Amino acid sequence: MDQKFNYTLKIKDKITYINIIGIIDEDNNLEEIGERVGTGTVLLNLSNVERINSCGVRDWVNWLTKIESKGAKVVLLECSPAIVAQINLVSNFISKSLIQSFYAPYYCANCDKEKVLLIESSTMKNVETPSAPISRCDDCDGVMEFDDMEESYFAFLQNSNLGPLPEGLPEGWEEMLNVESTLTSDKKVKTRERTIRSKNSQPSLMSSLPGSLPSSSLPSLPSSSLPSLPGTRDSKSGTFSSLPSFPSQDHAMGQKNGSGKENSSSTQGKQQTLLLGMVSLLFLVVIIILVVVLFKLM
Ligand SMILES: [Zn+2]
């Protein structure tokens, strides 16, 4: 899925159509795009931006302010979740541009599938506490869960310019922009299989490997020690794999210590009785010698 920075740019009737694809990092061509952007309406399709790093953010913000100062009126369409995250994080990320639509991520635990739903931002304008619209799974038709924190994901709606598309766009503008979906239908979704880092894969790994002893010793946890884990079960993959090893180690250590103590105390006891026996035997021998010596002296 990951793809380095790529773009398409078309200009027709004073409207600039830009489609940015892949990763925005230090190897971007934003400057090149900026040189070609004219004044007037700039439609920017961001649905295929997978990722953006700190260098990318810096270049992006500089680029956007620059083309705006040249007279470009930028409209952002289909902002990907990666873009939404940056809009929420970086206060001037979108500068003066207008957000026309954005994607929201969903997840079906039943099918282990994720999906992004396209939302027209004007439908969430002036909503006090925006919440994720209900989205149903394409496969099982169950209600999908929103795959982020609603409050933080939709926070940008409060202080961004949200709006409809500029009026008077020529017919066929969608093709110029390579937008995958028009906003006139309800089927504004892109689906993709969830990757391996899914929430379900770790616990299933745990149950599928009982008894075996990999170095992490995670799956070898006996059921008795599981009650100490529930907090980590729901946490995301990164912390998950590291956390349970602590209780398991503790457990192993505890077991070792316990049995060790038992062992040493029992051997100590044996040693003590042995020592006691030897001492009393020695004592007896000494007494016998003393008696013999005394007897000879007499
Ligand atoms: Zn489903």
pLDDT at 191: 57
- Assign 23 to helix, strand or coil: strand
How many helices (H) does the chain have, and how many strands (E)? 9, 10
- Assign 223 to helix, strand or coil: helix
**Rounded distance from Cα 129 to ligand 1 centre (Å):** 27
Kind of pairing between the strands at 161-162 and 98-99: parallel
Q: How far apart are the C-alpha atoms of 145 and 149, rounded to whole Å? A: 11
Q: How far apart are the C-alpha atoms of 298 and 189, rounded to whole Å? A: 116
**Rounded distance from Cα 111 to ligand 1 centre (Å):** 4
Q: How far apart are the C-alpha atoms of 266 and 273, rounded to whole Å? A: 11
For the segment 218-240, the average pLDDT, to the nearest whole number, is: 41
147 pLDDT exceeds 60?
yes
For the segment 235-255, the average pLDDT, to the nearest whole number, is: 41
In the sheet that holds 72-77, the strands lie side by side as 6-12, 15-24, 40-52, 72-77, 98-99, 161-162
166 pLDDT exceeds 70?
yes
108 pLDDT exceeds 50?
yes
**Rounded distance from Cα 144 to ligand 1 centre (Å):** 7
**Rounded distance from Cα 150 to ligand 1 centre (Å):** 20
Class of domain 6-193: alpha beta
For the segment 207-225, the average pLDDT, to the nearest whole number, is: 44
**Rounded distance from Cα 61 to ligand 1 centre (Å):** 38
**Rounded distance from Cα 188 to ligand 1 centre (Å):** 17
For residue 263, CA distances in Å to 229, 248, 260 come to 29, 22, 5
**Rounded distance from Cα 114 to ligand 1 centre (Å):** 9
120: alpha, beta or left, given left = phi > 0 and alpha = psi -120 to 50?
A: beta
244 pLDDT exceeds 90?
no
pLDDT tens string 39-92? 999 999 999 999 999 999 999 999 999 999 999 999 999 999 999 999 999 999
**Rounded distance from Cα 254 to ligand 1 centre (Å):** 43
Q: How far apart are the C-alpha atoms of 255 and 246, rounded to whole Å? A: 14
**Rounded distance from Cα 176 to ligand 1 centre (Å):** 34
**Rounded distance from Cα 186 to ligand 1 centre (Å):** 18
Query: The pTM is what?
Result: 0.63
**Rounded distance from Cα 45 to ligand 1 centre (Å):** 28
Q: Domain spans of the chain?
A: 6-193, 271-298
**Rounded distance from Cα 87 to ligand 1 centre (Å):** 30
pLDDT at 288: 76
**Rounded distance from Cα 113 to ligand 1 centre (Å):** 7
For the segment 247-267, the average pLDDT, to the nearest whole number, is: 45
**Rounded distance from Cα 146 to ligand 1 centre (Å):** 13
pLDDT at 12: 92
Q: How far apart are the C-alpha atoms of 22 and 283, rounded to whole Å? A: 89
By the 10 Å C-beta count (0-12 exposed, 13-18 middle, 19+ buried), 159 is classed as exposed
Long-range contacts of 232-235 (CB under 8 A, 24+ apart): 233/203, 234/199
291 pLDDT exceeds 80?
no
Give percent above pLDDT 90 in the chain.
50
For the segment 95-105, the average pLDDT, to the nearest whole number, is: 95
For the segment 118-123, the average pLDDT, to the nearest whole number, is: 92
**Rounded distance from Cα 181 to ligand 1 centre (Å):** 22
262 pLDDT exceeds 70?
no
**Rounded distance from Cα 231 to ligand 1 centre (Å):** 26
145 pLDDT exceeds 80?
yes
For residue 206, CA distances in Å to 195, 213, 241 come to 18, 12, 10
**Rounded distance from Cα 288 to ligand 1 centre (Å):** 91
**Rounded distance from Cα 20 to ligand 1 centre (Å):** 30
**Rounded distance from Cα 107 to ligand 1 centre (Å):** 8
